[in-house]
Amino acid sequence: MAHYAKIDENNIVVQVIVAEESVINSFDNPDEWIQTSYNTHRGVHSAGETPLRKNFAGIGYTYDTERDAFYSPKPFNSWTLDESSCTWEPPIERPNDDKIYSWNETDQTWDEVEA
């Protein structure tokens, strides 16, 4: 069994299921279903196998036919898509410490969240 993402006419994921390929092929429009790997994130397979389509698909994700990749909705206008991982990257790297931060799109800064 494998995971499959159903995409709409705009290549947006509307459903993700676990099924046999024969079941997918029995659907009226099997080309609406794209296989995705639960173990693939940021272009890396967690078990060291070949990654499939950069990221595990989620509802609302886009399937990019040119990149043959799934990626999440863009979180902020200032963020850009990293071509190698198909994940969104902020214009300024998040501080690397034990604190919690949230992105401030207006000021283009990482703001510390008070616990």
DSSP letters for 32-83: GEEEE-TTEETTEETTSS---SSS---TT-EEETTTTEEEPPPSSTT-EEET
**Can you tell me the mean pLDDT for 82-88?**
97
Residue 41 pLDDT greater than 90, yes or no: yes
Residue 115 pLDDT greater than 90, yes or no: no
- pLDDT: which is higher, 106 or 114: 106
pLDDT in tens, 27-40: 999 999 999 999 99
pLDDT in tens, 44-66: 999 999 999 999 999 999 999 99
Give, rounded to a whole angstrom, the gap between the first and last alpha carbons of the chain.
Answer: 43
Report strand pairing: 101-104 vs 87-89.
unpaired
Residue extents of the structural domains in the chain: 1-73, 74-115
Residue type, 17: I
